Amino acid sequence: MSIAQPPFAGADVSRAPPVWRDWRAILAAIEGATSRGLAPGEAREAGRLRIFFVMALFAAAFVYAGIFAAKAALLSGLEGRGAAGAPAETVRADLVDRNGRILAVDLIRYGLYIRPQEVYDRAATLDAVARILPGVPRARLANVLGRDRGEYYIAGDLSPEVRDQLHDLALPGLYFQDEEGRAYPLGETAAQVIGLASRDGRGLSGAERAFDGAIRKDSGPVALSIDLRVQAALQDEVDKAAVHFGVKDAVGMVVNVRTGEILAMTSWPTYDPNHPERTPPDNMVNHAAATVYEPGSVFKVFTLAEGLDTGAVNIRTVFDVCSPLVLPGQIIHDYDKGDCALPLWEVFTHSSNIGAAKMAIRVGGEAEDHYFHAFGLFNKAPSELIESARPLTVSRMSVNSVATMAFGQSISVSPLALATGMSAILNGGIYRPLTLRKLDPGESPAPGRRVIKESTSRVMLGLMRLNGTNGTGRSADLGAPGYLVGGKTGTATKLVNGHYDLGKKNLASFAAVFPTDGGFNQDRYFVLVMMDEPKVLAETGGFTTGGAVSAPIAGRIIERIAPFLGQTRRADEPDEPPPGRNKDVVDASVLDHIQAVSGPVGPPINPVITDAAGGRAR
């Protein structure tokens, strides 16, 4: 009886796939080992043994295939990229406001990839993916599915729910990859100051960029100095006013001048950081930090602080403002000069350009250069924000430069730089960088450096309060009665084709402070409002000045935020001065109170024009 040839004996396995070549070689070896020199009965037993081995091998193959399929279905891994569900390598911590409210948070997101060579039914796959992801063009899907090899990114930022819908279809060739998903639940609120993070988990702008290292450590929520209640009120008032006046752009800030913490910062127009791809690039600019403006008469706060701190002038020093100030190639006028002879306090309440320029020239260019450097006006604001912009400054301190910078021309600074310098004037004389980081309980503010005497700071608070009750800032104080509001208006005529466009394009500003009383160890707040190119409206009498446009906005903001900041309305505040010439009619006791901390009264200054070196110029 002849023995049949083993099924795998002599088989040519060279043409089989590598895996099957191995299997067939093993089976052939088993066949040969169990077939040589056997009796007929033994041959039958050997046949049963061979069948057992073959069944065992097929069972192992099916188990292996099942494990592989389950792994592919559950993990949908992509070689070299990590499996979905694996820990993200660049997890970002939550950003929260000073009270723990969420500003930015990581969410689980996925990217969809297709390997067309693994797709079995391409038409069904195209229809299913297009139905679940209607935002992906069918033509693009068809193009990818029509290829024979490769791996193609189809869509990103998929929620777990959408990923599950696709996964549950059990379509071969579809793979998922973890992505960094960052969500901003407040949408447009504080958008520019919070900033953006990239899909690979890196901060790009705003606080996301400023505190990228701390956020990427993921050692717990990163708390900003922002108070969401204050931010919402500020942004609401600025946004409404910006739309109402049809402005080009607008800025608002609220700062605790004692600690240097920025409690709110807004820039209009704004955008939704959840959908930056839908946003015009200009809307993403944080004008509070990244844009420089000629600020106008709000700069007189710096000018008067300089003059008072040198001791060259005091609040009753008189300036002749009767005639325009004639400089080489330039004539300086006043918008509202009042009387011909103005004491310094009326130079402030009337916002006299002539008076401020004459004071600056009298004190000298060297002093102005020193103080403006000390106030940080000749450098970009020191800040965590990378957006902080450099100022535009003059090349030399000529008599024209000294005079015009005194009322906020010939220099362009960012609102952030202006707020940083002005905080030093209002907090007792200490210049310190403003911060977006919340100070820990009991943590002292940054040490800073002294730039003016404490007595000078006290006089400036008195003058700003006087301007709030009797000067160009009255509407701000009237909008927030009982909170002792002071401030300074600014109306910067804008340059158009190298010339100032008188009365047509203005930057209308108001720099407010409240409360103006109390010690320097108590919290005090600075509020800045800027409206760029407001349109003429009948309700403002056709004016686009800081007093007509921005001061009322500041008053409404203070009225809303003061309770959040623990400020109590003063019921015993004296009645407001009567209308009419109330810029000039002030109770002498008010001036005496301000003068008491500024030193003895000096003789009136003879308005002599001097150059930067102190010499006389005609």
Letter for the amino acid at 539?
E
**353 close to 332: Cβ distance less than 8 angstroms:** yes
> 268: which strand partners?
250
Active-site entry in 35, 297, 414, 550: 297
**351 close to 300: Cβ distance less than 8 angstroms:** yes
Q: What share of the chain is helix, strand, coil (3-state, %, to 5)?
A: 40, 15, 45
Any idea how long the chain is?
A: 618
Q: How far apart are CA 460 and CA 351, in angstroms?
A: 14
**Is it true that the peptide bond before 269 is cis, omega within 30 degrees of 0?**
yes
Quote the tokens at residue 307. 């003059």
Q: How far apart are CA 226 and CA 561, in angstroms?
A: 13
Q: How far apart are CA 301 and CA 335, in angstroms?
A: 18
Q: How many other β-carbons are positioned within 10 Å of the β-carbon of residue 167? A: 18
Q: How far apart are CA 154 and CA 174, in angstroms?
A: 10
Q: Closest Cα partner for 360 from 315, 395, 424, 310?
A: 310
* DSSP conformation letters of 61-74: HHHHHHHHHHHHHH
Q: Reduced to 3 states, what is the DSSP secondary structure of residue 383?
A: coil
Active site residue 457: no
Q: Closest Cα partner for 491 from 353, 397, 373, 357?
A: 353
Q: How far apart are CA 149 and CA 368, in angstroms?
A: 71
Q: Reduced to 3 states, what is the DSSP secondary structure of residue 532?
A: strand
* Active-site residue list: 297
